[in-house]
């Protein structure tokens, strides 16, 4: 391809499938064919689909763990600081650092921070909220929230070439193939 010709300004190609099994098989085939900038889209979580596109590990559990540790530590530190340093009160002769009494708020803060860290972490990793996405330009893609399954190959993939990739996707026998404009 000469440098004078502009590559088509598209996001990529989108193939539509009828069943989750077809989607997983197609995703595996695309991954085997060397495509890496691919994603599978489905109306419900399919464990095999993320495996097929080569996405094995998420950062979510680590974020939840860190949030929990931060919450628990800051919860206890808050109570320690208040009861021992800032505002020591003698309650029934108990020590200022009466840690067994601090367990409940420490626990609750652990849960609170872990949960919120996880939720905000999920949306941050997903890049949400993202009201606009090129895929929404394809009318048929609306069925992804309903009953259809899609495989997208992005134009940014080094292996992507409009003719060859279209031919490759056709070999997977999809219901339809759409070009995704930006």
Partner 1 sequence: MLEEPPVLTPGQTFDSVTDQIADAVLTRPIGLGWLAGLALAMGLLAMLGMAITYLLLRGVGIWGIDVPIAWGFAIINFVWWIGIGHAGTLISAILLLLKQSWRNSINRFAEAMTLFAVACAGMFPLLHMGRPWLGYWMFPYPSSMGVWPQFRSPLVWDVFAVSTYATISAVFWFVGLVPDFATMREKARHKYTKAVYGILALGWRGSARHWKRYEALYILLAGIATPLVLSVHTVVSFDFAVAVMPGWHTTIFPPYFVAGAIYSGFAMVLVLAIPIRHYYRLENMITLRHLQNSAKVMLATGLIVAYGYVFEAFIAFYSGSTYERFMMQNRWFGSYAVFYWLLILLNILIPQVLWIPKVRSNIKALFLISVVILGGMWLERFVIIITSLSRDFLPSSWGHYTATRWDYATFFGTLGFFFTAMLIFIRIMPAISIFEMRMLLPESEVKSK
Residue 135 found at the interface with partner 1 (CB under 8 A): yes
Residue 44 found at the interface with partner 1 (CB under 8 A): yes
Residue 132 found at the interface with partner 1 (CB under 8 A): yes
- Quick one: which of 129, 158, 163, 182 contacts partner 1 (CB under 8 A)? 129
Closest to 31 in 3D by CA, of 56, 66, 58, 60: 56
Residue 98 found at the interface with partner 1 (CB under 8 A): yes
DSSP bridge pairs for 179: 13
Alpha-carbon span 78 to 85, nearest angstrom: 10
CB of 44 to partner 1, least distance (A): 5
Cβ neighbours of 38 (radius 10 Å): 23
> Segment contacting partner 1 (CB under 8 A): 7-15, 50-58, 165-173, 174-182?
50-58
Residue 43 found at the interface with partner 1 (CB under 8 A): yes
Residue 123 found at the interface with partner 1 (CB under 8 A): yes
Burial of 7 (0-12, 13-18, 19+ CB in 10 A): exposed
Cβ neighbours of 128 (radius 10 Å): 9
Residue 30 found at the interface with partner 1 (CB under 8 A): no
Site for partner 1 in 152-181 (CB under 8 A): none
CB of 29 to partner 1, least distance (A): 11
Name every residue whose Cβ is closer than 8 Å to that of residue 72 and which is 6 or more positions away in sequence: 106, 107, 109, 110, 113
CB of 48 to partner 1, least distance (A): 5
């Amino acid at each position: 391809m000469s440098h004078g010709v502009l590559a088509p300004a598209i996001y990529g190609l989108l193939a539509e499938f009828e069943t989750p099994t077809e989607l997983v098989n197609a995703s595996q085939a695309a991954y085997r064919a060397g495509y890496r900038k691919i994603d599978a889209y489905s109306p419900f979580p399919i464990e095999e689909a993320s495996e097929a596109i080569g996405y094995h590990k998420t950062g979510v559990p680590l974020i939840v763990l860190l949030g929990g540790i931060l919450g628990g530590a800051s919860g206890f530190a808050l109570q320690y600081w208040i009861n021992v340093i800032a505002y020591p009160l003698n309650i029934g002769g108990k020590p200022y650092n009466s840690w067994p009494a601090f367990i409940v708020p420490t626990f609750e803060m652990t849960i609170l921070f872990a949960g919120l860290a996880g939720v905000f972490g999920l949306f941050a990793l997903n890049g949400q909220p993202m009201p606009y996405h090129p895929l929404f330009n394809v009318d048929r893609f609306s069925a992804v929230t309903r009953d259809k399954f899609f495989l997208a190959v992005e134009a940014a993939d080094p292996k992507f070439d409009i003719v060859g990739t279209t031919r490759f996707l056709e070999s997977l026998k999809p219901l339809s193939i759409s070009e995704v404009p930006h």
